Amino acid sequence: MRLVACTPQTNEVLNRFFDDDYFFSSGNFYPALDVVEETNQYVLKLDLPGINKEDIKVSVENGVLTIEGERKSENEEKDKQFHRVERRYGRFVRTLNLGTGVDNSKIHAAYKDGVLQLSVPKLEAAQPKSIDIQVE
């Protein structure tokens, strides 16, 4: 499996465009993502605190895994004065190219305590195999 984030990260000009102060000013956010390779699967974890399960959608099409959702803003109250607002609200989309070597039909998703965990199993042929050597 070859996981490729679909966000530009190598061009300095584009990196400045996606800088926190500019990119997040739109109200959208980009949830943190960890990818861990295990012997028979890849495990992806996204931090999505404050988001309901119903507001998250996971799909796979043509080898591209898409995770999208929305963190809805809280209702503003007129008798409160906000001094600092750092939490981001709005839509997000994360896409990863799964490539070959994974079983798209057996991806499993679980959501607990604000963390979305996806298990992406490797195909049998893609898993490392050990061959015993016989001594004669």
In three-state secondary structure terms, 95 is strand
- pLDDT, tens digit only, all 136 positions of the chain: 666 555 544 555 445 444 444 444 445 678 999 999 999 999 999 999 989 999 999 999 988 999 999 988 776 667 777 777 777 778 999 999 988 889 999 999 999 999 999 999 998 876 677 777 778 7
Can you name the residues that pair with 94 across neighbouring β-strands?
Answer: 67
CA–CA distances in Å: residue 40 to residues 1, 109, 128 = 11, 16, 8
pTM of the complete model = 0.68
Domains of the chain and any CATH numbers: 4-73+87-126 (2.60.40.790)
Cα 16 to chain centroid, rounded: 22
